[in-house]
Amino acid sequence: MVWERWQVSWDRQQELYLPDREERFRVMLDVVEAVAGPAPRVLDLACGTGSISRRLFERLPEATSVGVDLDPALLTIARGSFADDARIRLVSADLHAPDWTAGMPDEPFDAVVTATALHWLTTEPLLRLYGDLAKLLRPGGVFLNADHMPESGRPLLYAADETIRRTHRERAERAGALDWDGWWEAAESDPNLTDAVAASRAIYGTDDSGDTHPADWHIARLHEAGFLEAGVVWRCLGDAMVAAIR
Ligand SMILES: C[S@@+](CC[C@H](N)C(=O)[O-])C[C@H]1O[C@@H](n2cnc3c(N)ncnc32)[C@H](O)[C@@H]1O
């Protein structure tokens, strides 16, 4: 199955940079289940190929999900692999756009989850997005954001972090995993994806001008956006996951 192969190779490529990717997804879904129970209505924000929704359905088969992303190639893989699954709806939207919520359902979500994505946004659209999420979640619902959130003043620890990641990356590459550029080249050469990859390149180009903030910054901004409580639920050196209760 071509789409399953792309799902697996996307996972391998992301794990090249995130050795603990599965661990953060596990903690994320632990929190979703604890807060929202066995049949949550979930928004998978900047879903890519739908990696989080796949794990959500494996763990909580009664869950439903709306996956939002802008990337035509990653959405093509998601649409292909979830083809017959009525539990998920995939929406193409740009989180930079003030009206990105136009395609969202009227009923509020129990959980919003996102990973390795919001650092692609600059600060102003991210603040607007946090306000939007406060409106899309039901009271008592949870938002989880796992991303690069380095703290200041820890150069020695972050040097160790970089060494750990580089060692892991080199080992994975020796075992055959594709890096980011290699993965996109491979996708482009698959006739199922060639046009979609060209469309992705036209959208994103080489611009990677998002902003990175420490976890405390996210926590403070989420409180300002109307969340009741926010805190770190997982951390591994420079990466962290912030959870916020609406
Ligand atoms: C590194 S991928 C992570 C995808 C998925 N969460 C995962 O962990 O596999 C980052 C995702 O953010 C999406 N993204 C970045 N900027 C976006 C925007 N402005 N609107 C919608 N999606 C965006 C990209 O298209 C990409 O799918």
Walk along the chain (246 residues) and give the pLDDT tens digit of each residue: 799 999 999 999 999 999 999 999 999 999 999 999 999 999 999 999 999 999 999 999 999 999 999 999 999 999 999 999 999 999 999 999 999 999 999 999 999 999 999 999 999 999 999 999 999 999 999 999 999 999 999 899 999 999 999 999 999 999 999 999 999 999 999 999 999 999 999 999 766 679 999 999 999 999 999 999 999 999 998 999 999 999
**E strands within 100-136?**
109-115
Nearest to 51 by CA among 19, 29, 35: 29
Indicate if ligand 1 lies below 6 Å from the C-beta of 94: yes
Q: Indicate the burial class of 78 (C-beta count within 10 angstroms; 0-12, 13-18, 19 or more).
A: buried
Indicate if ligand 1 lies below 6 Å from the C-beta of 22: no
Give pLDDT, residue 90. 98
Strand, coil or helix: 36: helix
Phi-psi category of residue 146: left, alpha or beta, with phi > 0 → left and psi -120 to 50 → alpha: beta
Give pLDDT, residue 49. 98
- Per CATH, which fold does 17-101+144-214 belong to? Rossmann fold (3.40.50)
Model's pTM, two decimal places? 0.96
Give pLDDT, residue 136. 98
Indicate if ligand 1 lies below 6 Å from the C-beta of 115: yes
Indicate if ligand 1 lies below 6 Å from the C-beta of 96: yes
Closest C-alpha to ligand 1, atom 4: 48
Ligand 1 midpoint to CA 205 (Å) = 14
Ligand 1 midpoint to CA 43 (Å) = 13
Indicate if ligand 1 lies below 6 Å from the C-beta of 73: no
Give pLDDT, residue 135. 97
125-152 core/surface letters (b: 16 or more CB in 10 A; e: else)? bbebbbebbbebbeeebbbbbbbebbee
Q: What does the block give as tokens for 70?
A: 């802008």
Ligand 1 midpoint to CA 219 (Å) = 21
HSE value, Cβ hemisphere, 13 Å, CA-based, for 162: 7
Nearest atom, ligand 1, residue 125 CA: 19
Only one residue has tokens 């060209």, namely 198
Indicate if ligand 1 lies below 6 Å from the C-beta of 200: no
Query: d(Cα 88, Cα 78) in Å, to the nearest integer?
Result: 10
